[in-house]
Amino acid sequence: MNVAANKTIVAVQPVIRGEEQACILRVLVYFDIFQYPLTKNEIRRFLERPFSEATIDQSLQQMIADHTIFLHGGFYSLQYNPLLTIKRKKGNRRAEKLLPKAYSIGRFLFHFPFVRAIGISGSLSKNFADEKADVDFFIITKANRLWMARSIMHLFKKITFLTGHQHYFCMNYYIDEDALLIKEQNIFTAVEVATLIPVAGKDVLENFFITNSWGDQFFPGKQIQLPVHKEPATWIKKAIECLFDSRLGDHLDKWLFKITTKRWHQKGEKGMRNKNGHTMQLITGRHFSRSNPGSFQEKVLSLYEQKLIELKLI
């Protein structure tokens, strides 16, 4: 999902009756940044406080009557714009077709050396895909082998450019088992954790979600569905891991971290841009690597805070 280019059309001075309506409005404000209307169940899922079904229904009806929010085709939004509903439904249908392929690719990626868990992230994890949708993956690696895993996987991705399938292999976020805690604890990362679709690596993913239970303060009603099947390691994966389970592996991983960080720093200095025209940025550390094109996370958080101030919600 892309950040909205135009300003949100809402009531100038919305009527907010009680904390339950304020909570609902904060949910809709966040997803409105992406021009993404929500169902009632989705609103409930992302509420910062639990409310009864009757309270939520009553609040929604009152907010519609006050023209604080709008309802079209079963979707609630800050905007009265039926085109958003049409766009969302089309995106949902594309996502339903793309998800089985994403699961298959994720299980394939799990067999790369030092990979311990795979999850589907990005817009697809929120059941949306536009015409040029990428398939984004969140990857957890063995401790102190992140940069070896990432380098091998990105060498493979270079091959996919030859067949035009690179958009199916967007491996944007890596952490290793020594860095399961997401340090940026805000609504952006809370949404990403809550919507992450587990693919493989059940035990490691379970530890990841337990470690990041801080997200409960944002969304106490979230539910995580862990993968049912465990993916056994192939003999090739075991052999490569055994070969580099040594000081040589430690030195190689540190070296790959240094040269990759240096290369991406140079890309940033040159102002290189990705296919969407955003400045290329890779935030790195010894135990993590995440893409942040055009300072996307910071932009979303800034827009969210700005809108909350305008609506006097903070």
Share of the chain above pLDDT 70, in %: 92
pLDDT of residue 186: 96
Residue 304 domain flag? no
pLDDT of residue 278: 66
pLDDT of residue 171: 95
Q: Are residues 15 and 156 in the same domain?
A: no
Examine the pLDDT at 289 and tell me if it is beyond 80.
Answer: yes
DSSP-assigned beta bridge partners for residue 285: 288
Query: Which of 48-62, 175-189, 215-229, 275-289 comes out lowest in average pLDDT?
Result: 215-229
Q: What band does 6 get if pLDDT is binned at 50, 70 and 90? A: very low
Query: Which CATH number does the domain housing residue 27 bear?
Result: 1.10.10.10
Residue 305 domain flag? no
Q: Which domain holds residue 256?
A: 93-293
Beta strands at 70-72 and 136-141: parallel, antiparallel or unpaired: unpaired
Q: Are residues 98 and 76 in the same domain?
A: no
Main-chain dihedrals φ then ψ at residue 171, nearest 5 degrees: -95, 85
Q: Are residues 270 and 242 in the same domain?
A: yes
Q: What is the DSSP string of the chain?
A: -PPPSSPP---SS----SHHHHHHHHHHHHHHTTT--B-HHHHHHT-SS---HHHHHHHHHHHHHTTSSEEETTEEESS--HHHHHHHHHHHHHHHHHHHHHHHHHHHHTTSTTEEEEEEETGGGGT---TT---EEEEEE-TT-HHHHHHHHHHHHHHHHHHT-GGG-EEEEEEETT--S-S--SHHHHHHHHH-EEEE-HHHHHHHHHHTGGGGGT-TT------SS--PPPHHHHHHHHHTSSHHHHHHHHHHHHHHHHHHHHHHHTT-B-TTSPBP-EEEETTEEEE-GGGHHHHHHHHHHHHHHHTT--
Q: Are residues 267 and 161 in the same domain?
A: yes
Q: Are residues 191 and 232 in the same domain?
A: yes
Q: Are residues 129 and 37 in the same domain?
A: no
Residue 306 domain flag? no
Indicate if the alpha-carbon torsion angle 175, 183, 191, 273 is positive or negative: negative
Instruction: Give the separation between CA 75 and CA 71, rounded to whole angstroms.
Output: 6
Q: Are residues 196 and 174 in the same domain?
A: yes
The domain boundary, picked from 51, 80, 109, lies at: 80
pLDDT of residue 8: 45
Residue 303 domain flag? no
Residue 274 domain flag? yes
What pLDDT, in 10s, does the model give residues 119-135? Answer: 999 999 999 999 888 99
Q: What is the mean pLDDT of residues 276-288?
A: 84
Q: What band does 4 get if pLDDT is binned at 50, 70 and 90? A: low
Share of the chain above pLDDT 90, in %: 76
Q: What is the mean pLDDT of residues 68-82?
A: 94
In the chain, how many domains are there?
2
In 3D, which of 51, 53, 12, 45 has the Cα closest to residue 28?
Answer: 45
Q: How confident is the prediction for the chain on average, in pLDDT?
A: 90
